[in-house]
Amino acid sequence: MKFPTSFNPYMAYAKKNSGWIIIAVIALGVAIYIYFKGKKDGKIYIPDAPYINGAESIPSGWNPNTLADKLFKVMNDVIVASGTKDAAWKELLALPTDDMIIAVYNTFNKKYATKGKGSLTEWVNDEIYYDYLSGVKSKLYNKLKSLRLN
């Protein structure tokens, strides 16, 4: 039997098994995605920042989770008014002690560091939509850096 000059045995095999080839390519793509996603998530570890006066200086009954959740919501959601971000940032700046700020920082990092940009300081620094005239973002960023919260 004589084959036409354009006949390629690999093309015949590919046509015959095209469904399996597509499944194999998709499976390989999913495996690569899972590998790199897991590798990225595993790299983010931010140790707790030490308290200045100890955790005893934090008022009993005060919960840093509430403010950490609020900060995550305003910085993670797509459509958020700049005034809403500024209000959350001002709330963090208005905390009476530095140890309370550190507690919010540690809580935020434990809950949300793997969901995006890293530490709370990095989340604040990466924000591009905010009220430029208020200066709250730069005040908060400078406060976090002055507490050595990277």
pLDDT, one tens digit per residue, over 81-96 is: 778 888 999 999 999 9
- Between 88 and 9, whose confidence is greater? 88
Residues 24 and 70 in one domain: no
Beta strands in 1-150 (DSSP E): none
Residues 14 and 74 in one domain: no
The answer for 33, left when phi > 0, alpha when psi is -120 to 50, beta otherwise, is alpha
Secondary element (H or E) of residue 110:
helix 98-112
Residues 6+ apart with CB under 8 A from 119: 46, 105, 108, 109, 113, 149, 150
Residue 126 CA, chain-centre distance (Å), reads 11
Has residue 25 been placed in a domain? Answer: yes
Would you place residue 44 in the very low, low, confident or very high pLDDT band (cuts 50, 70, 90)?
low
- Between 94 and 78, whose confidence is greater? 94
Cα torsion for 141, 142, 145, 150, to the nearest 10°?
20
Q: State yes or no: pLDDT of 136 exceeds 80.
A: yes
Has residue 68 been placed in a domain? Answer: yes
Q: State yes or no: pLDDT of 108 exceeds 70.
A: yes
pLDDT of residue 38: 66
When pLDDT is averaged across residues 89-105 and rounded to a whole number, the result is: 93
- Which residue range forms the structural domain that includes residue 111? 55-146
